[in-house]
Amino acid sequence: MEETVVLLLMLVGASLILTASLGILRMPDLFLRMSASAKAGTLGVGLILAGVAIFFRDFAITTRAIAVIIFMLLTAPVAAHMIGRAAYFDGSPLWSGTLFDELKSHYHRSTHELDSGDVVVTDQLLEDSLMNDEGDDFQLEE
């Protein structure tokens, strides 16, 4: 019975990691790729480590597995969020099928900050063809 539970946890975890890798290959833009890898990858690693903890039934291995699971659950979503936010602020293009950009009306291009209220149109993130690199520390390639 124990081996069956371990096998099931390992197979589901490996399947989720495979799903995350396929999501990285198949998703059309950076933001969707990061969502797939952060969610499915974290859960897959957590299930595999849970299987390892059950299989070995050793206090040292179990505590390390639990520590890694907690670390992954705390850091992977935060890291994905911060990388996605930096990519959005840098002007990474959204997928052409994106229906609505909820951050566009709240992003101050001049200060790179988000605001809860609406931002005036001249201070919003503009498309690459209309971008003015005033206030940026880097030059756009032409």
Same domain, 16 and 76: yes
Number of domains in the chain: 2
Same domain, 68 and 111: no
59 lies in some domain: yes
CA 54 to chain centre: 29
User: What local confidence, expressed as pLDDT, does residue 100 receive?
Assistant: 80
Same domain, 82 and 28: yes
- Mean pLDDT on 43-61: 96
Domain limits at 67?
A: 2-90
User: What local confidence, expressed as pLDDT, does residue 21 receive?
Assistant: 95
pLDDT in tens, 15-46: 999 999 999 999 999 999 999 889 999 999 99
Same domain, 85 and 49: yes
Same domain, 14 and 80: yes
- Which long-range contacts (C-beta less than 8 Å, at least 24 apart) are formed by 52-60? 54/2, 54/5, 54/6, 54/9, 55/2, 55/3, 55/6
Same domain, 56 and 110: no
138 lies in some domain: no
Same domain, 107 and 40: no
141 lies in some domain: no
pLDDT in tens, 60-84: 999 999 999 999 999 999 999 999 8
Same domain, 74 and 112: no
Q: What count of other Cβ atoms lies within 10 Å of the Cβ of residue 80?
A: 20
- Residue 56 CA to residue 14 CA, distance in Å, equals 18
pLDDT in tens, 85-141: 888 888 888 888 888 887 777 777 777 777 777 766 555 544 444 444 444 455 555
Same domain, 119 and 73: no
